[in-house]
């Protein structure tokens, strides 16, 4: 047996690589505590097997990766990540070469498979034996991978808190990301850097003793249009299998490691990429997007609350009482940009009755349409119904993003996979769905558990990239279940959930009937952040998070319980000086607010009593700034 070890510079995280009986294994430890126990490595091509018969060829010198870059969306705007990397090269019995690149950072480790050559050769990856053996002495918050259906897979199942090693409820297994706490250490497991189209993995159904295994996309995905396998051209690197690790669950909330492991921006000019807040009519009236008169109030809402955009959902091409060009002119006169919805179309898509469709999947029609949208002054597109993690669909994401960049169109994907760092590579990708969001209020079950899920998402789905949940519901729509969360809880979602496009889903009347202080908050709440701090919480019970934009801090608290929960919020993240805090929290009734203005410094703590399913927000400004 031969072993190699790579540790981060602080020597808090160690990745151990093992070659024994011609097979590869690995393990990960945090301050000496096992986080991933000995787990198998291996990948298979149609022409080469790298699961056994391996011999060591070479080990590179340790390379320091000292990288600083900027993000237009995400948890922080300026990211400095310093890590170390080694690349290990092995040869199988037939002489084919496999590289394993390993990186270690302050907040995590990652590895990826690579095929070094010969250059230009095409090979087919048919499977892998990668395992993730997590010590089974803690809990995991996991999402069942969708069974294939008309609307799925789209990562819209319900996260569950289970013991590590619990079998998934369906043969389709568990989805990424996963957060768990083995041996008292917090671990988020996901993928990053799917820079060259490849398949995305999830986890097998059974994990006896915490022995999880990689699972390829489900064969029925794309209804036979595309295979599970991936065809790649050498040299090639697979995505990074990524482990974000730390002493508290907050490491997942604060980490930007998924972006660090992804390719740098392909855009030379990003001045046109402008994240923003969006009004949206579909949630409250599913036919509104096809009627000019019903859309005008949502444009007026965006203009009145100083929001940047309004989204026009499916069927806009068949608009009544006016045409889309009329709405564009109306919105432009009021300083509001428009997004338009598209069905991705294609043979893989069984959603036949929603259009426009069969445009964004067709290269020639896509570019023709994007040129038309650019000429009209449309700011972005919402592309729906991708519904697979096969390479075929991953390629479609990349193709749409590259073409959209040529025509300066912002992008939001729905019916989509989870982010894998693409918003660094393609900064105009501002949001993705891949979540059971507010549209699920048509389900009584969702309404009953939404408060609980809201305190899981920041540690899981939203930890790996922008999340288009469409939050902040104050009223009740005719076709939806009444929300059981308090209105203060709903308002707090605008800060707790990160998305480069924050779609506010309720009606103009619902927002404009709120107290002036709430409306004033909605006028200024940002969607991009310079800094993010996790202050308190655990998935499913509590989240308290602080985000900074310039000199102003926004703090959000969410109660994941049905019973009241007090919280003391230390303000030690503030710089020295005097501040004014505008606190909006639960009132005497679930739909009521209480508003306070407080003088604070970093030496004090905000004490807030959250109602069951309640929450709060605070906007904290240096004295004289606001």
Active site residues: 384, 444
Residue 431's alpha-carbon distances to 19, 294, 406, 413, 464, in angstroms, are 41, 25, 19, 7, 12
Number of H helices and E strands in the chain, helices first, is 11, 37
Q: Is 72 helix (H, G, I), strand (E, B) or coil?
A: coil
- Under 8 Å between Cβ of 70 and 80: no
Q: Give dist(CA 532, CA 536) in Å, integer.
A: 13
Residue 617's alpha-carbon distances to 487, 556, 586, in angstroms, are 11, 4, 10
Place of tokens 């992008």: 411
- Under 8 Å between Cβ of 296 and 334: no
Which two three-digit tokens encode residue 624? 């004289």
Q: Give dist(CA 616, CA 260) in Å, integer.
A: 32
Q: Give dist(CA 518, CA 513) in Å, integer.
A: 10
117: number of Cβ within 10 Å: 11
Which two three-digit tokens encode residue 530? 């310079």
- Quick one: which of 106, 34, 100, 116 has its CA closest to 64? 106
- Under 8 Å between Cβ of 3 and 86: no
Which two three-digit tokens encode residue 18? 């093992």
Which residues are registered as beta bridge partners of 595? 584
Q: Give dist(CA 139, CA 186) in Å, integer.
A: 10
């Amino acid at each position: 047996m031969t072993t190699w070890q790579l540790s981060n510079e602080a020597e808090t995280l160690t990745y151990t690589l093992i070659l024994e009986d011609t097979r590869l294994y690995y393990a990960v430890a945090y301050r000496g505590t096992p986080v991933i126990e000995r787990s198998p490595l291996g990948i298979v091509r149609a022409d080469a097997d790298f699961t056994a018969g391996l011999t060591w060829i070479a080990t590179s010198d340790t390379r320091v990766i000292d990288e600083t870059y900027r993000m237009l969306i995400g948890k922080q705007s300026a990211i400095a990540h310093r890590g170390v990397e080694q690349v290990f090269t092995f040869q199988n019995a037939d002489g084919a070469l496999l590289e394993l690149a390993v990186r270690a950072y302050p907040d995590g480790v990652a590895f990826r498979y690579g095929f070094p050559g010969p250059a230009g050769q095409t090979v087919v990856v048919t499977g892998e034996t990668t395992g993730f053996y997590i010590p089974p002495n803690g809990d995991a918050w996991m999402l069942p991978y969708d069974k294939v259906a008309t609307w799925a897979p789209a990562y819209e199942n319900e996260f569950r808190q289970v013991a590590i090693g619990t079998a998934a409820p369906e043969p389709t297994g568990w989805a990424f990301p996963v957060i768990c706490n083995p041996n008292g250490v917090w671990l988020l497991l996901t993928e990053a850097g799917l820079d060259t189209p490849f398949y995305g993995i999830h986890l097998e159904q059974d994990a006896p003793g915490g022995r999880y295994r990689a699972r390829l996309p489900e064969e029925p995905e794309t209804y036979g249009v595309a295979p599970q396998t991936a065809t790649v051209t050498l040299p090639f690197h697979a995505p990074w299998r990524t482990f974000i690790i730390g002493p508290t669950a907050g490491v997942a909330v604060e980490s930007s490691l998924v972006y660090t492991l992804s390719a740098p921006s392909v855009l030379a000019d990003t001045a046109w990429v402008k994240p923003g807040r969006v009004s949206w009519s579909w949630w409250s009236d599913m036919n509104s997007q096809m009627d000019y008169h019903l859309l005008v109030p949502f444009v007026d809402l965006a203009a009145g609350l100083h929001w940047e955009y309004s989204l026009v959902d499916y069927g806009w091409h068949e608009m009544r009482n006016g045409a889309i060009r009329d709405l564009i002119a109306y919105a432009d006169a009021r300083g509001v940009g428009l997004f338009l919805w598209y069905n991705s179309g294609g043979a893989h898509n069984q959603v036949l009755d929603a259009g426009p469709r069969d445009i964004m999947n067709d290269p020639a029609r896509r570019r023709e349409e994007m040129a038309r949208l650019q000429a009209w002054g449309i700011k972005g597109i919402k592309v729906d119904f991708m519904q697979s993690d096969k390479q075929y669909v991953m390629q479609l994401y990349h193709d749409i993003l590259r073409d959209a960049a040529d025509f300066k169109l912002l992008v939001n994907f729905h019916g989509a996979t989870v982010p894998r760092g693409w918003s660094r590579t393609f900064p105009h990708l501002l949001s993705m769905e891949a979540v059971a969001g507010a549209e699920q209020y048509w389900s009584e079950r969702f309404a009953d558990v939404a408060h609980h899920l809201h305190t899981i998402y920041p540690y899981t789905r939203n930890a790996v990239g922008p999340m288009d949940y469409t939050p902040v519901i104050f009223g009740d729509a005719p076709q939806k279940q009444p929300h059981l969360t308090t209105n203060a809880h709903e308002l707090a979602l605008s800060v707790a959930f990160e998305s480069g496009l924050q779609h506010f889903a309720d009606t103009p009347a619902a927002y404009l009937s709120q107290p002036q202080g709430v409306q004033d908050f909605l006028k200024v709440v940002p969607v991009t952040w310079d800094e993010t701090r996790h202050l308190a919480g655990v998935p499913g019970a509590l989240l308290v998070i602080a985000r900074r934009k310039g000199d102003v801090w926004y703090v959000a608290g969410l109660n994941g319980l049905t019973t009241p929960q007090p919280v003391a919020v230390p303000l030690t993240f503030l710089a020295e000086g005097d501040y004014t805090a505008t606190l909006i929290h639960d009132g005497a009734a679930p739909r009521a607010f209480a508003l306070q203005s407080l003088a604070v410094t970093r030496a004090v703590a905000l004490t807030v009593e959250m109602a069951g399913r309640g929450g709060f927000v605070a906007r904290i400004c240096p004295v004289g700034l606001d």
